[in-house]
Amino acid sequence: MRQKQLSQPTRASELAGAQLEINGIQNDSLSESAIIVNRGTMAQPMCGWALATLRGGQVYTFPDDFILLPGLKVVIHSGQGAPESSPRDLFWTHEQRWNNQSDTAILFDVHGLEIDRWVYPHGRISGSAAKHRKRLVRDGDTWRVVSEQKLETQRSRQIVRFPR
């Protein structure tokens, strides 16, 4: 069993021993799914974690009590005919979330840090493209995916004024 009921949600960045990866995006125009796998040796609490589409800016947040055990995968479904949540499947929405031509799935930890990305139809990103990490930031009631480099530049330009 991959999911445990906790008395209080556990919020954690990727734990030492956990190794979460996006293992693919399936998109047949009407039914869609994203596969997340824990290739590590440690269970990972997913409270506060999110999966985002880069093109559409859509964000799925994992249930507070969801824990991905080592060696197991979870499938996040969207689109027409998406099944309701079960121990191995999570329901996002009956609407399409992924661009039919090409899109990028990004997995973010509880702090909005990029953990992994998958570009379909191409696969895992590595090399220079992987250096341009993204951050997931809360903007009122919505989420925004921003460049980590751009976010750092904005922070360094902020002027702090102290009262006299």
**CATH label of the domain that carries residue 79:** 2.60.40.1260
Q: Is residue 37 part of a domain?
A: yes
Confirm if 115 and 68 have CB atoms less than 8 A apart: no
Give the count of domains, the chain: 1
pLDDT in tens, 38-95: 999 999 999 999 999 988 789 999 999 999 999 999 999 999 888 887 778 999 999 9
Q: Is residue 154 part of a domain?
A: no
Q: Is residue 47 part of a domain?
A: yes
Q: Which two tokens stand for residue 73?
A: 């995968």
pLDDT in tens, 85-111: 777 899 999 998 988 888 999 999 999
Q: Nearest to residue 60, comparing CAs of 102, 14, 94, 92?
A: 92
In the block, tokens 């799935």 appear at 105
User: What global pTM score does this model have?
Assistant: 0.76
Q: Is residue 153 part of a domain?
A: no
Residue 108: give the domain boundaries. 20-125
